[in-house]
Amino acid sequence: MVRRLVLGCGIVGQRAIETLDSWPGEVRVIDADGARVDALRGEGIAADRGDPGDPDRLRAEPPPDLVLVASDDADETLRATRAAREAFPDAHLIAYVHGNEEARERVTRLADRAVDPVGTVADAVLAAGNGEGVERLRGLARALRDIDGRLGVFMHNDPDPDAIGSAIALRDIALARGVDAEACYFGEIAHQENRALVNLLDLDLHRYDAESFDPAAFDGIALVDHSRPGVNDGLPPGTEIDVVIDHHPPRGPVDARFVDLRSDVGATSTLLVDYLRGLDVDVNDRVATALLYGIRVDTRDFDRDITTRDFEAAAFLLSRADMGVLERVERPSISGDTFDTIARAIKNAEREGSIVVSSAGRVGNRDAIAQAADRLLATEDVTLTAVFGFMNGTAYVSGRTRGSEVDIGETMRRAFAGMGSAGGHTDMAGAQLPVGILADADDEASVEAIVGEVITGRLFEELDVRRSPPRFEPGTSA
């Protein structure tokens, strides 16, 4: 059961209590005004007369999940905030700040969220969330508070917009709470739209090399948009993790000091909006633009796995985002290498009914494989595409579906079980398959033919599709 404690009950406190009392759980009030306490009791509120700033009085209370300091008196507010932080170090502490500048600064340093006297305390409590939402805010604040030094916020390999937006948002949350932090990734930001997002917004991202990376360079590590170190990132497996925030269902155990895994939203960026609002962190136009684009991309412009909360997060970001930048991000120029990759995928396409599988041959930009799969999906009457290509001894596969009952993520997981890593969404998935000794063969065209036949055969077999005679021949990758 969620416990909420209100210390001092001024005008705005009474407004907030009305909201708190409507939620499941327990609400208790401590106020020095006997008449006010009697009035609250008459309304069915558990209220006691006492000094809200008395540490001994507070220690007698069962530990609450949320503390709201809402006195109209500035001195009482400071004393109550200080006493609450001392008595309940793990509680999420919201304080209504007023008085002189020195008192306001002290309250702001002590509280998890300080709200200016503009009549919005009730809104602040609402933003902090109901039940589990309060627990998450409290848990993240506690995890960040315990990091003594620099926090590395790590995206998955070759990060997409959802990972990029989530990482810079969590970095800003940490910075707002006095924790030095940076947004980090391994691999490449290869997709031209993703590069445009980073360049146009001038995002400060730090790229690391998995071969030389030392986790000891950071005093804390957070993962966004993925949940396990060493799985789709360059961190050593078993790296101790402080924070995980992700919207993908985990495929294995997740071990961290604070974990928020919610697959009931369409994007991790939506979850970060909850934290930005609940912890009262300023959202600048760069963060808002990146988060909004992350939600749009991961929900296919609000057409896939979309929930009410994704719409609400997008609405919050819309007035803060730079829509001019977004328009430029969505219309970047295409590189010659990507154009060649798409052309090879079209040339080598093998179609069986509404399903297309194709080889893009040797590629210099692995993200071009995903773009080729998207382009092939635009073909009339095609509902599923899978394109594979080879780079640095690895075969990369990208799958897409449209208007199909096939779960391409599960299909690829089953098709390539034991060969490498594979998975994703119901309509968008990927796989990475080590080529092994074949990658050292002198005849690269033969490598493509052999591995391509295995990939194609497994996909069609998993899709229960009878194939025409194979058409991948040595030399077709050109």
Kindly report the number of other CB atoms within 10 A of residue 306's CB atom: 19
pTM, two decimal places: 0.61
For the chain, the structural domain boundaries read 3-130, 141-329, 336-462
CA distance 76 to 33: 12
* Average pLDDT estimate for 200-226: 94
Q: Could you read off the pLDDT of 226-257 as tens digits, one per residue?
A: 999 998 899 999 999 999 999 988 877 899 99
Q: Tell me which amino acid residue 431 is.
A: A
Neighbouring-strand partners of residue 206: 184
Could you tell me which CATH number the domain at 141-329 has? 3.90.1640.10
Q: What is the pLDDT of residue 441?
A: 52
**What would the 3-class secondary structure string for 437-448 be?**
HHHHCCCHHHHH
Q: What is the pLDDT of residue 478?
A: 39
**What would the 3-class secondary structure string for 352-396 be?**
ECCEEEEEEEECCCCHHHHHHHHHHHCCCCCCEEEEEEEECCEEE
Q: What is the pLDDT of residue 121?
A: 45
Of 123 and 27, the structure prediction assigns the larger pLDDT to 27
| Torsion sign, CA atoms 219, 224, 228, 229 | negative
CA distances from 148 to 35, 139, 279, 455 (A): 46, 16, 20, 47
Looking at domain 3-130, which of 3.40.50.720, 3.60.150.10, 1.10.3470.10, 1.10.101.10 is its CATH number?
A: 3.40.50.720
Beta-strand runs (E) in 305-354:
350-352
Q: Could you read off the pLDDT of 143-162 as tens digits, one per residue?
A: 999 999 999 999 998 899 99
Neighbouring-strand partners of residue 48: 30
Beta-strand runs (E) in 17-91:
26-31, 46-49, 66-69
Q: How far is CA 87 from the centre of its chain?
A: 32
pLDDT of residue 119 exceeding 80, the answer is no
State the distance between the two ends of the chain, measured CA to CA, in whole angstroms: 65
pLDDT of residue 53 exceeding 80, the answer is yes
Q: What is the pLDDT of residue 13?
A: 74
Q: What is the DSSP string of 223-278?
A: EES--STTSSSSSPTT---SEEEESSPPSS----SEEEE--SSS-HHHHHHHHHHH
Q: What is the pLDDT of residue 429?
A: 87
> Average model confidence (pLDDT) for the chain?
86
For 54: left if phi > 0, alpha if psi spans -120 to 50, otherwise beta; the answer is beta
Task: Find where tokens 């400060």 sit.
Answer: 204
Q: What is the pLDDT of residue 87?
A: 94
Task: Find where tokens 């590189």 sit.
Answer: 335
Question: Crossing angle, helix 192-201 and helix 285-298, to 10 degrees?
Answer: 160
3-class state of residue 136 by DSSP: helix
3-class state of residue 170 by DSSP: helix
CA distance 117 to 128: 17
Could you tell me which CATH number the domain at 336-462 has? 3.10.310.30
Q: Could you read off the pLDDT of 265-304 as tens digits, one per residue?
A: 999 999 999 999 988 899 999 999 999 999 999 887 777 7
Q: Tell me which amino acid residue 48 is.
A: D
Per-residue tokens: 266: 């369409």
| Torsion sign, CA atoms 343, 330, 231, 154 | positive
Q: What is the pLDDT of residue 120?
A: 45
b/e per residue 211-225 (b: at least 16 CB within 10 A): eebeeeebebbbbbb
3-class state of residue 58 by DSSP: helix
Lowest mean pLDDT, pick from 104-108, 117-121, 451-455: 117-121
b/e per residue 232-242 (b: at least 16 CB within 10 A): bbbbeeebebb
Q: What is the pLDDT of residue 96?
A: 83
